[in-house]
Structure formats: structure tokens, C-alpha cells
Amino acid sequence: MKVDIYRKLETSQAIIGEFWLNGVKECVYLEPARFTPFYSGHPCIHAGVYRVVLTMSPHLGYVCPEVLNVPGRTAIRWHIGNFPEDVLGCCVVGTAAGKNCVTHSKIAFDALMKKLMANEEGKEILAEYHDPARGAVSTRVLSEVELA
């Protein structure tokens, strides 16, 4: 299964984007800001291709996707949450995005997990994180005034 993660909008607090499964938009997501994350030292991960497995999170207490082999990082997951303070380099998913948040995260997470678990047994899950093209409007960090 191929998961494409498109970064669409970056603020000083978070990045908002879209999750696509095998070419079909699944949900929106939020991850930490690149330069000024809520938790210092835990920005978004670098764009690239990563292997993903479904494992039990000792911190969260439920099975969720874990992004493997992230340089200098461990325990990067896709999970339930709504705000920048809910992520330490991870992504939280939702059905809609607002100002530095996603909504209806449990609904989006359950739908995502159902599709990931239905993936043919043993078939690899690859996730590609995409940065916007250089010079695109969405690459600039928007101020809180612009978002209001």
C-alpha cells in the first residue's frame, strides 16, 4: 500500500496537509511545525519515503501506524489528536482542518486503520512525505494574523 502525505499549509505552530491512500484522499492531518514546534527539538520529519508498520504504542495504549527508520528519531506515529501540543514529530489525522487543528480525529483514525488493516497481509506499507514545490504559495510560514 502507498500512502502519500502532502504538506499543504505551514504556520508557526503546525503543518496541515492531506493523507492519500493508493491515490485516493483519505483524510487531513496535522504535524509539528518545521522550525518552531510546540515541543522544542520535535519538528516534523524530513520529506522522504518511510516504511510503516502497525504496532502497539506503549505511550498511547493502542495499535497505530509507526513510521520506521526516521533519521535521529524513534516512535513516530499516526494517531488520534487535534492540536500541535498532541504531537512530538508524529501526525494526528482528522476529517477537517482548522486554524492549527484537525477535527473528528477518532473518526478519521478509525477509518484510516480499517483500510490499513485490510491491506493484504504481509504487503508493505510505504509512506512518502511530500514538501510543497519550492516557490509555491503554501511553502511560506503564515502568521497568526493571516490565518485569523
Helix (H) / strand (E) containing 108: helix 105-118
pLDDT score of 133: 80
The helix/strand/coil state of 48 is strand
pLDDT score of 135: 58
Percent of the chain past pLDDT 70, that is, above it, reads 91
Percent of the chain past pLDDT 90, that is, above it, reads 84
The set of residues, in sequence order, having a beta carbon less than 8 Å from that of 109 and lying 6+ positions away, is 64, 78, 79, 80, 93
pLDDT digits (tens, 9 = 90+) for 61-101: 999 999 999 999 999 999 999 999 999 999 999 999 999 99
pLDDT score of 147: 47
The helix/strand/coil state of 5 is strand
Helix (H) / strand (E) containing 97: strand 96-98
The helix/strand/coil state of 13 is coil
Q: Are 102 and 28 in contact (CB under 8 A)?
A: yes
pLDDT score of 49: 98
Statement: residue 136 has pLDDT above 70: no
DSSP secondary structure letter of residue 83: S
Q: Are 26 and 19 in contact (CB under 8 A)?
A: yes
Output the pTM of the full model.
0.88
Place 1 in a pLDDT band, splitting at 50, 70 and 90. Answer: very high
Q: What is the CA radius of gyration of the chain?
A: 14
Backbone angles phi, psi at 114, to 5 degrees: -60, -45
Place 142 in a pLDDT band, splitting at 50, 70 and 90. Answer: very low
Q: Are 6 and 15 in contact (CB under 8 A)?
A: no
Cα 94 from Cα 17, distance rounded (Å): 10
Mean pLDDT, the chain, integer: 91
pLDDT score of 143: 46
Statement: residue 33 has pLDDT above 80: yes
Mean pLDDT, to the nearest integer, of 19-37? 97
